Structure 1
């Protein structure tokens, strides 16, 4: 027995302290790896936020540094657009009214247009450096325009109105003017029959400087009519939170009875600054959030500058 131990067998004893030391090393390694992982995640989040902020800042700086559209270029665009061969184009007088309003903006204009029309590219070009958004009732045409012209920002909307229902719809607004159909509100949360509440959420937060109602198309009894577009424009203009307190609202085909009646109800004759050819031009002021009526008087005579 003694010989066996001496010649070939070795007895190894592990002290408990050695086992504890190995376990402790593993814990330290795990803690170190966890720290590195956390540091990596924090760095990644900070870097993404920094890149996003920097990108937004650079974009704003580029827009600010970009020179405004010269008056000569604007006049040329208006001239060639109004002298094209299209049968459904606006007149030179109508286009010039809108171009003049866009040029009055002291900052990049926010321009909302109901209707994708012959002038779509013109509006985008005239609102140089600004944001121009188009709303159309035809989702396929809106998608086609965005695909063909990537610089165009267009959305589709489903109108739930009929031209033949105009008297009832206006009467419903009058009944709910202190509730769902208030002149100052966020239409995203409204159940007013004439309020468009299915636009992209972000559009309700924009302070619109110029709004053009040139859609939807059609003037037959089952057509949606422009009542909802005019009402929505009236609320958006009165609900501005910042920027210029005034909003220019243009209604094309103002010679049509339905557009004139609806405009009288919600844009109001006291705000009509010009009516010429087929265009009605209104300038609306921001209203107090407690306002309970659209017009100061339902019998206000037309502006002296109207024709």
Structure 2
């Protein structure tokens, strides 16, 4: 008589009952059946454990190879909306409205991660830009070295640098005319600004900035609108 026992991995165990066999060989058959049974049970357990382990490792091949799983690192839309709301409705006159902050937020949201974001000017929106580019690099440039140091001390999470501009607002007509004349030479858009002789070329930024491919550049400074302002 055959008795079939089905396990979770569809492995079948066939047990031979000794009562239909000769009585004289019953002890040997019992011993043989017991050994066979324990062997089969061991094989079933081993096979099931190995299969489960292999399946678990195969579910996330990136993790198994030492990599990281691909996830959406952008801030949730409701968090972005909340940040924009409070930044635009702050009780201060020196702030951007929602009509200005929302387009910038949309650009950052479409920017591939990690996003390199360069901002000219330290303003009321500084920590907003840093928060919106949560998993990227956001660098701030300001003409006031003391204010840059103050902002870094107050908000250690931001990266700010000071720069000394050599141009003045009172010279803007001459500067624009000069750029128009040299737009195909010294002031052409694609060049190494570090060694540029264009009068509007920014060649006094930290050297490492010229080797970075900036994805987004926001001009929100320098501040001021007087003749000697940069």
Q: Does TM, normalized by the shorter one, top 0.5?
A: yes
Would you say 1:128 and 2:173 are equivalent positions?
no
Is residue 181 of structure 1 aligned with residue 187 of structure 2? yes
**Residue aligned with 1:133, SS:** strand
Structure 1 match to 2:173: 167
Q: Which residue of the partner structure matches residue 212 of structure 1?
A: 218
Matched, 1:190 2:200: no
Specify the alignment match of 2:106 in structure 1.
Answer: 100
Q: How many residues align?
A: 164
- The residue that corresponds to 1:109 in the other structure is 115
Distance 1:164 1:127 in 2: 35
Q: TM-score, normalised by structure 2?
A: 0.67
Greater Rg over alpha carbons, structure? 2
Query: 1:223 matched to which residue of 2?
Result: 229
Contact 2:73–2:113 (CA under 8 A) maintained in structure 1: no
1:258-273 → structure 2 map (5 Å cutoff): none
- Is the alpha carbon distance of 1:187 and 1:64 closer, same or farther for their aligned partners in structure 2, counting shifts above 3 Å? farther
Listed one character per residue, the Cα deviations across residues 79-117 of structure 1 (whole Å, up to 9, x for unaligned) are 011111011010011100100110011322111110000
In 2, are the aligned partners of 1:177 and 1:183 still within 8 Å (CA)? yes
**Structure 2 gaps, min length 5:** 1-66
1:191 and 1:114 map into 2 onto residues whose CA distance is: 21
By how many angstroms is 1:174 displaced? 2.0
Q: Supply the RMSD in Å over aligned alpha carbons.
A: 1.8
Query: In structure 2, the residue corresponding to 1:135 is in which secondary structure?
Result: strand
Deviation at 1:64, TM superposition (A): 6.6
2-structure distance, mates of 1:144, 1:62: 37
